Structure 1
Amino acid sequence: MHVRHMERRLREMNLEILSMKEIGGAHAGNICKVEALSENENTREHYIYKEFAEKRDQEVEIHKNIEEILTPFSRVVKVWETSPKAMMMWDLGYPVKAGFEALPIGEKKILISDILKVLTSLHCVEAVQTNLPIHQLSSEWKDWCLEQLGKLGSRKSWASPKWERTIQEVNDRLDIPHYQSKCPSVITHGDPHLENVFYKDERIWLIDWEWAAIGSPLRDVTILMQDIYDDDLISYVPEYYLQCLRERGFILDNDDFWSDLSYLYIDHLTMMLAWEVEKYFQGHLSEKRIRGIIEWKIGEIERVQSEVMDRKNKFSH
């Protein structure tokens, strides 16, 4: 963290730093909480200052391109495009994920519904002249996941070779890397797992927009789904999302919807499985937790693969 740069930047905003605390974790850069005194209004405010790691500063360009679109969904105060590239936002407290598992199922469903309403609002924004990249599936996450599981297998006797076989098999049988999304393209956040979702001032807010792109709306829905470890809630997500779309007059072809959902869900389960293993390597997850995560995600991949094959067999007869 370039503290001198941060101090100078805040002074230029007429803010005096009262305290700062670096936030640990697996972040794409350095992040700290800042309490500052506004010299104009003589009030104490709480911010998050994020200094981007090298080659992980796409979010700066994203905000420059679609700042007006993002305003209802994020609480960014200022973005610095000069080195070191950085961003300051209001402190939103703790991510939804922090207390999600402890919530009763009814409260989980309400929270998930609120998140899906926000995603629906984003997906219904007209995607014109955004200069955002186009999201396409590739072999990137499969390759990374196989690499991560291979490392895990070489280090831990409890790691099952079956996990790698499952990842390879589903990608071969369904040809995941070459799947072309079928639903109309929309603006997508690209990474709305529960650590990037916050509830503050009776509203849902989204952070970390570095993977924003034009793509299938099911891209966001499935990244959210892979963070939910409950069969009923996983079934609820696509059904409620469809309801939200219908209420906005956004109608998707049923076959296209479930096709995108299946393929993107498998791809994102694979991606986040690799990322969770990385968090375990970095000491952020216990052995018990990572084993549970892997078993769940592998089970979901097998379930969805079976459903896709059943649909294909049904149509072929």
Structure 2
Amino acid sequence: MVRRLKDMDVELLSMEKIGGAHAGNISRIDALSEKKKVRYIYKEFADERNKEVEIHRNIADIVNPFSRVVRIWDDPPQAMLMWDLGSPIKAGFEIQSSDEKRRSIGHILTRLTSLHCMDAVQTKLPVHQLSSEWRDWCLDQLGKLCSRKSWTSPGWERTILEAYERLDIPHYQTKCPPVITHGDPHLENVFYKDDEIWFIDWEWAAIGSPLRDVTILMQDVYEDELITFVPEFYLQCMRERGIILDGDDFSSDLGYLYIDHLTMMLAWEVEKYFEGYLSEQRIREIIEWKIGEIERVQTEVMDRKNK
């Protein structure tokens, strides 16, 4: 790292490790560049989590307006240098008022709309497909949790199995016109800096339904009113860009992708609980909310299919 900074005529002043167990080594750096103090984040990728290097290399012209990357090193150890964006939007989001939350989400959705309107024709990105991956991971996580805690319910696993089986989620083909999606814009990956929204962690970027990003953003929302607000505001943003999405296609993608991502994030939240990042009370609240949402959305999707 020091050698790489020196090659950029950047002098390291201090460094603080800030974690990154699932992505490699991440450090916050204070440095001198052109006689000015600057603050960077240096991210050294784990071998199995280095997809982001290829993403930035293949679609740099698309990613750069939405991120603050300074430099990518493709030679070992693969790494990235980006501007320090401060704290993610998730920090403090839960204590905001409903109006403040709507404003924050509105800014993010407006920014996502700009990404989704980028030309996707020439990109070297994979195509996102639903599968059984998140269902299998979540069932495994809940099985581990149920074997350790008496307050758990076997009904949680039944709810997930029923949703995937009755809706045949692994074989669902999205209906909205495909766009470039970030793939993981939950609030820990979204920052507000210099009057703009920025996204980090692009390793899951792919061509897919715009509802892919919308429903992942919804994973940090735990209020009925805001859950309704998110897709409605996104549709408004697209209309303002002159893009009209078919209502039935939009609702269908919303339901299927929301259930899939509720399941994915449920597994991830259980993992964070196992690692000591969430309290027992909080993980119970999260599970009950997300299971309730899966049940609600499954009922809505089935009702539409039966009409």
1:194 aligned onto 2:184: no
Kept after mapping to 2: 8 A contact 1:79/1:88: yes
Kept after mapping to 2: 8 A contact 1:30/1:51: yes
Instruction: Tell me which stretches of 4 or more aligned residues in structure 1 moved more than 4 Å.
Output: none
How big is each residue's C-alpha offset from its partner over 1:195-250, in whole Å with a ceiling of 9 and x where there is no partner?
A: 00000111100000000000000000000012111110110000110000011011
1:39-54 maps to which residues of 2 (within 5 A)?
Answer: 41-54=34-47
How big is each residue's C-alpha offset from its partner over 1:175-197, in whole Å with a ceiling of 9 and x where there is no partner?
A: 11110000110000000000000
Partner of 2:171: 178
How big is each residue's C-alpha offset from its partner over 1:38-68, in whole Å with a ceiling of 9 and x where there is no partner?
A: 1xx2111000011111111000000001101
Q: Distance in 2 between matches of 1:286 and 1:26?
A: 19
Q: Distance in 2 between matches of 1:18 and 1:285?
A: 34
Partner of 1:220: 213
Identity between Structure 1 and Structure 2 (%): 74
Partner of 1:9: 4
Kept after mapping to 1: 8 A contact 2:20/2:26: no
1:128 aligned onto 2:121: yes
Supply the AA of the counterpart residue of 2:273.
Y
1:1-317 maps to which residues of 2 (within 5 A)?
Answer: 6-24=1-19, 26-38=21-33, 41-314=34-307
Q: Distance in 2 between matches of 1:30 and 1:232?
A: 38
Supply the AA of the counterpart residue of 1:110.
R
Supply the AA of the counterpart residue of 1:136.
Q
Kept after mapping to 2: 8 A contact 1:26/1:279: no
Q: Secondary structure at the match of 2:12?
A: strand
Partner of 1:3: none
Kept after mapping to 2: 8 A contact 1:222/1:265: yes
Q: Distance in 2 between matches of 1:19 and 1:289?
A: 36
How well do the aligned residues superpose, as a CA RMSD in angstroms? Answer: 0.8
Supply the AA of the counterpart residue of 1:11.
K
Q: Distance in 2 between matches of 1:112 and 1:128?
A: 28
> What is the CA-CA distance between 1:27 and the residue it aligns to?
3.4
> What is the CA-CA distance between 1:155 and the residue it aligns to?
1.0
Kept after mapping to 2: 8 A contact 1:187/1:214: yes
| Residues matched between the structures, number | 307
Supply the AA of the counterpart residue of 1:293.
I
Q: Distance in 2 between matches of 1:141 and 1:219?
A: 14
> What is the CA-CA distance between 1:72 and the residue it aligns to?
1.3
How big is each residue's C-alpha offset from its partner over 1:265-309, in whole Å with a ceiling of 9 and x where there is no partner?
A: 000000010011111111111111111111110011001001011
TM-score under structure 1 normalisation?
A: 0.96
> What is the CA-CA distance between 1:24 and the residue it aligns to?
2.5
TM-score under structure 2 normalisation?
A: 0.99
Kept after mapping to 2: 8 A contact 1:25/1:284: no
